[in-house]
């Protein structure tokens, strides 16, 4: 199967549509595709099937944009895809703000039910692509793993909103850890080594919702 057909089939299956209905104008925003979590899950499916890992996928608004990013096809008229990582999304569940010189913050809320329950979190493409091994190891021993995964997802989204440079960093290279007192802190995984960041992050969750706030200090 050629790459174009495989991409279209992957998108169609994820959206619950027939592949013949997927056109360049097919929206990747709203409906089942509402929110960053949905696009992240589609991205994980594309990575698993096609071996493609490209953070620019998060900038795609239509299937035509996706083809341009992954297959190098020409954009549809009026479309544009960021040459750098996309800016942080702004919607009713997400916000970012400047706190003054050298400080900015980001906030994110995620529904716990948006994270799938799977037989093996270690091998699932979505969890592999978006969580570091230490995070998976921590979450799966908790009574309700999805709740803790959701909190870490929200923290990573909040961090990206507080610091645009993190939009270019794959999710599984951003690691949310806890110190001996249980206070969360942020690390980047670089060549297998942890680099602790100065960003501050706070997480909270219930059975239904997870939320986080991050402050970037530069």
Residue 172 covered by a domain: yes
How many CB atoms neighbour CB 174 within 10 A? Answer: 23
- The CATH number given to whatever domain includes residue 125 is 3.90.470.20
pLDDT score of 132 = 96
Measured CA to CA, the distance from residue 73 to residue 82 in angstroms comes to 15
**CA triple 146-60-89, angle to 5 deg:** 60
Instruction: Tell me the C-alpha distance between 129 and 202, whole Å.
Output: 22
The reply to whether 77 falls in a domain is no
Q: Across-strand partners of 185? A: 177
How many beta carbons lie within 10 A of that of residue 142, not counting itself? Answer: 11
Question: pTM score, two decimals?
Answer: 0.72
Chain segment 152-170, per-residue pLDDT in tens: 999 999 999 999 899 889 9
Same domain, 143 and 200: yes
Are 155 and 203 in a shared domain? yes
Is 3:82 a contact under the CB 8 Å cutoff?
no
pLDDT at 85: 41
Same domain, 98 and 172: yes
Q: Please check whether residue 182 lies inside any domain of the structure.
A: yes
pLDDT tens digits in sequence order for the chain, 218 residues long? 788 899 999 999 888 889 999 999 998 887 777 777 887 888 888 888 888 777 777 778 899 998 898 888 755 544 444 444 443 333 323 444 555 567 899 999 999 999 989 999 999 989 999 999 999 999 999 999 999 999 999 999 999 999 989 988 999 999 999 998 989 999 999 888 999 999 999 999 999 999 999 999 87
Looking at the fold, whether 40 and 118 belong to one and the same domain comes out as: no
> Nearest 5°: CA angle at 11, between 152 and 59?
55
Do 19 and 125 lie in a common domain?
A: no
Domain carrying residue 157: 94-217
Give me Rg for the CA atoms of the chain: 17
51 and 123 part of one domain: no
Q: Are 46 and 70 in contact (CB under 8 A)?
A: yes
Task: Say yes or no: 17 and 123 in one domain.
Answer: no
pLDDT at 97: 55
Q: What is the CATH number of the domain that holds 9?
A: 1.10.1200.10
């Amino acid at each position: 199967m050629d790459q174009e057909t495989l991409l279209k089939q992957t998108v169609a299956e994820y959206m619950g549509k027939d592949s013949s209905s997927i056109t360049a104008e097919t929206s990747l925003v709203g409906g089942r595709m509402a929110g960053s979590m949905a696009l992240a899950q589609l991205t994980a499916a594309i990575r698993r099937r096609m071996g493609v890992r490209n953070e620019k996928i998060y900038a795609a608004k239509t299937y035509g944009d996706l083809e341009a990013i992954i297959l190098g096809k020409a954009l549809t008229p009026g479309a544009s895809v960021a040459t750098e990582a996309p800016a942080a999304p702004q919607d009713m569940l997400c916000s970012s703000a400047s706190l003054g010189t050298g400080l900015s913050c980001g906030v994110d809320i995620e529904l716990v039910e948006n994270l799938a329950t799977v037989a093996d979190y270690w091998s699932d493409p979505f969890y592999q692509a978006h969580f570091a091994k230490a995070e998976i190891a921590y979450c799966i021993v908790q009574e309700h793993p999805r709740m803790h995964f959701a909190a870490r997802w929200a923290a990573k989204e909040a961090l990206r909103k507080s610091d645009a440079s993190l939009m270019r960093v794959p999710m599984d290279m951003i690691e949310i850890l806890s110190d001996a007192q249980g206070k969360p802190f942020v690390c980047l995984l670089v060549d297998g080594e942890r680099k602790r960041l100065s960003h501050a992050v706070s997480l909270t969750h219930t059975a239904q919702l997870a939320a986080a706030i991050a402050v970037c200090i530069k």
